[in-house]
Structure 1
Amino acid sequence: MRSLTLFLVVALTPFAVAQTNQFLPAQPDSSTSLPDAPSADAPTTIFPHPERLPYLIAGQANIVFQAHGPFHSPYDGPNSLQDRGEYKTSLVGTLFLGLQLHRNPRYATDVIADFESAGGRGISQALGLAGFTNLDVVRNPNLGSKPYLARIQIHQVIGLPGNLVETDRTPYSLSTQLPERRFELHVGKMSLPDYFDVNSIGSDSHLQFLNWTVDNNGAWDYAADTRGYTYGAVLEYRDRSWSARYALAAMPTVANGIDLDWAFSRASGQNFEFELRRSLLGHLAAPERKGTLRVLSFVNHAHMGLYRDAVNAFLSGQDPKPNIAEHAKFGSVKYGFAINAEQEITSNLRTFLRVGWNEGQHESFAYTEVDQTVAFGGDYSGRAFSRPNDKIGLAFVSNAIKRDHQNYLHYGGLGFLLGDGNLNYAREDILESYYNLHAWRGVFYALNLQFIDHPGYNKDRGPVLVEAVRMHVDF
């Protein structure tokens, strides 16, 4: 912990410096997340994207180089972070395509199709850390970089009487005006974090933080294949200052699997989130300082096993080592809850908080091996020093697992990410900082540092410092 404290002091230094009447005019929307304010005369895409067109053609590329030096490790296992120095590079490219079938904002219809390629590898093949250091890395590196269809969906707006409000055009919603009170339906192939647990400070690994458990709530075991996508439906109701959304999505057939189980009667992920958009500081903050609070719950039904069953079978001599896959049962239920908050402090400083918990008895199945998590941090805009599209960020996350999960790893069991062959348990603590620099139009460069104490929850190993350089291009 002494080394963690020293790194915290170093990382903090730059941070401290650093409706009923369709003829009513459109009003500014109460955004789902706290808005950035890029300079009007500094384009942030290579090519212009006129909003008057009924279609969207855009793209992005993200290259991340990561490395770490040797660290203390008296032993390791098949799923350990390698204790010798190593470096790896990942590359993700995405082509976003969208077409507006109906442009009337009160019943707008979009067709969305995104193609993606994920190449390169993560350090230690993306193993050995619950809070892995690069969200771009596919958890099964053997899939290769062959392009695949990441998203294909229909987006339907059902407007209610009232004002029209200005909205930002995104790859998932092409309208620039929508009813203030409305339903929105997305059906098809998707990534659930596109709609749930969104946080404007800690959700974008291409321009913000890189760590899995900073950009998403680590305890939210959301339905997804190993690339992070699933098929399902999201229904959202949006009002002036609050929203509610529900999703039903397909679960993988096995933990971290690429194939989905299409029998929704026996396997599915259900998610519900309530969002309140108002300042969390009340009268302590200026009226224009926006805040958002989100409360998320999830219930997964899948072919999962219990850690305790696997450990008992090993201790009784039934299994030569703990293997949770041998004890999976259809109809198993895993559930959890999460809180996600963000708040503007000044015109340049924003903060966020995430807290997550799941029952932890059933195996980690789709996202990462976290049963409890607490993450907090913030970012500071370069507007303060005449760099409006630059950003400094700092975040701390502490992840934990329950006793049965600890015992499973202690006796030599392997999860889909973790397994040192032994475990002297401690919380996995991660401190991450970055500086993101806007170089020209849609080109950004970033320097990133992550300090990890007790990698893979193991007090016997680490700490480790992971350095990264990122290049991001928005076309």
Structure 2
Amino acid sequence: MKRIFIIGSTTSVVLGSCPFAAAADLPATVPIKAPARAAIYNWTGFYFGGQVGYGQGDLGPGANPVPEQAIFFPHSLTGLIGGFQAGYNFQLPNRVVLGLEVDALFTSPRDLPKLDPAPFNSTLEYAATARGRIGYAFGTTLPYVTGGLAWGQSRVNINANDGITPLSSQFLPHLGWTAGLGIEKAIGGNWTAKVEYDYIDLARRTYGLGDAMLPDLNVDPRIQVIKVGLNYKLGDTLWALSPVDGMQLPESPDWNVHGQTTFISQAYPRIRSPYEGANSLPGGGQGRETWTADAFLGWRLWGGGELYFNPELAQGFGLNTTLGLAGFSNGEAQKGGTDFPKIRPQRYFIRQTFGLGGEQEEVADGPLQLPGKRDIDRVTLTVGRFAITDYFDGNSYARDPRADFMNWSIWSSGAYDFPADLPGFTRGAVIELNRKDWAVRAGLFQVPSAPNSDVLTSRGGGAVVELEERYAISDQPGKLRLGVFENQGNTASYREALAIVAADPSLDINATTASIRHTLPKYGFYANMEQAITQDIGIFARASWNDGQSEILSFTDIDRSLSGGVSIKGSSWGRMNDTIGIGGVINGLSSAHRDFLAAGGIGLLIGDGQLNYREEKILEAFYAYNFNRWSTLTFDYQFVANPSYNADRGPVSIFSARAHAEF
């Protein structure tokens, strides 16, 4: 705009000083053009997006609120919060912007170490609002105020004698109001970013706790939240993918946004079940669902330096709350399932790549991956929170329960007890040296404070080293990965627990096991192969083993595992983006682990109270029907012989449907 103004002014001066020359040189018929108008950013249109933040507040006197996880901040009534929003803006000619927005905010899981014993606890499960917005557009920047209706739902848990474990729950809805202010800015393409503060006041509701011999409880939620969000602007119609008339900012290669959502429903009919233990699949059959929604955000900080953040909403339970199978049937099922969506910052890490020169390769835009070029010969250092399987034990045909095989022991090396909290993530560091035909990578990680704990600690630790060899057979690519690992965790020796109970049969095996935990090692290895047969057909196989002398710390109750299968693309029947997968696995236990379960021991996922040991054998087959470039529907069947290694129970036929979408 400055250049246009200067050129126009200069022309005026020159022509003004030589009027006759100008008149002689310019034909009378030449039309006079109006000066070019700079495009102005227009906020009009529909939008949708996501947000994360932090909240504080209270539920009223004597409510014993549950402390929620906040990770980077002190625990609070809500902890970290997150959710979705959608709305419509209309920009007036005088730059005033009027809008309507609805949103939903969900809280974090409870922070167990900070939870004080009490006969009951209360919590706010979610809060939602429908608000008006009014702001003034300074081009691509929009400050605004907002206010309107709010509603939500609280929950009161009646606890067991330990004051921690919920025995029963009550729920009540709340209605109230909200007010706040914020600022939003267009940042590139159809994307805008915002920062917003809201005060939410929900009306008091009274819980009758007479059945628990407790007085009535008034719950009066009042919270303050500050949140940051991203919106994607659709345009003036819901199906338009570009803004209305006006300037559109270019997108930057130095940041990206991706997302996914996955819904899995699983069910099995009645099975043979002469007896059941604490961790057995119920004999009468059951159905359960899980749902996740993720945002993947990436920023290029400097040359080779990248920052990534992955908040995730998760809701639902695996079959029997993710208990009853060593090779569990749903890779999306978390051990800490919930009735309502809960948000966790699953990944946050910095990645630094040091190029070593020579040939380069293209890096495609994708989740947790910024586009560009990088040296094939390179050293990469990653520090932060992530899933160990993001970097180790990968496989092109069996690694992602959102896209291919769902069974835990088929998409992963079952006997690799990788350190993780309940959702399957840890904090640590990974370093990798990559060459054209091979790579070597190693990692150090925090471990759970005890088996199946959601608290990560640096007392002890986990380590893994993996060698990856790349090759071709008949011009078809293949890979072989060999890994060795060791964990130092707070676990108990099976043989030691058995010896104590044998000396005093009045002792409970599980209480005894918990009482003798101390730092013990667990070590093992895995081998992982993939091989393309044709462009559309690939095979894979895994073998893994651990010493089996002490409790499983993080993953699942497997000490030996052998799996393999085939993946077939649908080109031959005219569905090139569809996939058929067929795989199988045999899982086993060490002799010490078998004796522990036979004595009534309870593992991470299994424990029938007794054991007629046989290897757990699983067959899985699926068909993934691809609707378009962003959505897939999968039908899956799993047959499980000797569930939880027990020949007295089962077999189990598990039927699944999976809907997955991503951008």
TM-score by length of 2: 0.61
Cα distance in 2 between the residues matched to 1:414 and 1:358: 19
2:275 paired with 1:75: yes
How many positions carry a matched residue from both structures? 415
Cα distance in 2 between the residues matched to 1:170 and 1:194: 14
Q: 1:261 to 1:407 in 2, by over 3 A?
A: same
- 2:296 match: 96
2:486 paired with 1:290: no
- 1:329 match: 518
Deviation at 1:139, TM superposition (A): 1.0
2:547 paired with 1:359: yes
Aligned AA for 2:462? G
Aligned AA for 1:277? R
Gaps of 5+ in 1: 1-45, 280-284
| Equivalent position to 1:313, from 500, 520, 545 | 500
Aligned AA for 2:503? S
Deviation at 1:318, TM superposition (A): 6.3
Cα distance in 2 between the residues matched to 1:396 and 1:232: 32
Contact residue 641 and residue 650 of structure 2 kept, 8 A: yes
Counting strand residues as a fraction of each chain, which structure ranks higher? 2
- 1:173 match: 369
2:457 paired with 1:268: no
- 1:15 match: none
Q: 1:47 to 1:116 in 2, by over 3 A?
A: farther
- 2:137 match: none
Deviations 1:420-473 (A, max 9, x none): 010000000000000001113311100000000000000100101000000001
Q: Which shows bigger deviation, 193-202 or 162-171?
A: 162-171
- 1:350 match: 538
2:265 paired with 1:65: yes
Contact residue 155 and residue 173 of structure 1 kept, 8 A: no
Q: Which has the larger radius of gyration?
A: 2
Contact residue 315 and residue 338 of structure 2 kept, 8 A: no
2:477 paired with 1:277: no
Cα distance in 2 between the residues matched to 1:418 and 1:355: 21
- 2:345 match: 149
Cα distance in 1 between the residues matched to 2:608 and 2:323: 10
Deviation at 1:235, TM superposition (A): 0.3
Q: How does 1:374-389 map to 2 (within 5 A)?
A: 374-389=562-577
2:309 paired with 1:113: yes
- 1:188 match: 384
Q: 1:343 to 1:301 in 2, by over 3 A?
A: same
Cα distance in 1 between the residues matched to 2:251 and 2:557: 41
Deviations 1:285-332 (A, max 9, x none): 422x000000011110111111111111111116622122222112x1
Cα distance in 1 between the residues matched to 2:366 and 2:416: 24
Cα distance in 1 between the residues matched to 2:365 and 2:565: 27
| Equivalent position to 2:416, from 220, 224, 228 | 220
Deviation at 1:51, TM superposition (A): 9.1
Contact residue 118 and residue 137 of structure 1 kept, 8 A: no
- 1:210 match: 406
| Equivalent position to 2:633, from 434, 441, 445 | 445
Cα RMSD (Å) of the superposition?
Answer: 1.7
Cα distance in 2 between the residues matched to 1:153 and 1:473: 24
Contact residue 51 and residue 169 of structure 1 kept, 8 A: no
Deviations 1:232-262 (A, max 9, x none): 0000000010000000000000111100113
Cα distance in 2 between the residues matched to 1:128 and 1:362: 20
Contact residue 316 and residue 339 of structure 2 kept, 8 A: no
| Equivalent position to 1:460, from 648, 653, 663 | 648
Contact residue 316 and residue 338 of structure 2 kept, 8 A: no
Deviation at 1:142, TM superposition (A): 5.0
The 3-state SS of whatever aligns with 1:193 is helix
TM-score by length of 1: 0.85
Cα distance in 2 between the residues matched to 1:203 and 1:152: 21
Deviation at 1:388, TM superposition (A): 1.7
Deviation at 1:47, TM superposition (A): 8.5
Contact residue 95 and residue 115 of structure 1 kept, 8 A: yes
Contact residue 51 and residue 176 of structure 1 kept, 8 A: no
The 3-state SS of whatever aligns with 1:325 is helix
Which consecutive aligned stretches of 4+ in structure 1 deviate over 4 angstroms post-superposition? Answer: none
Aligned AA for 2:628? W
2:431 paired with 1:235: yes
Identity %: 34
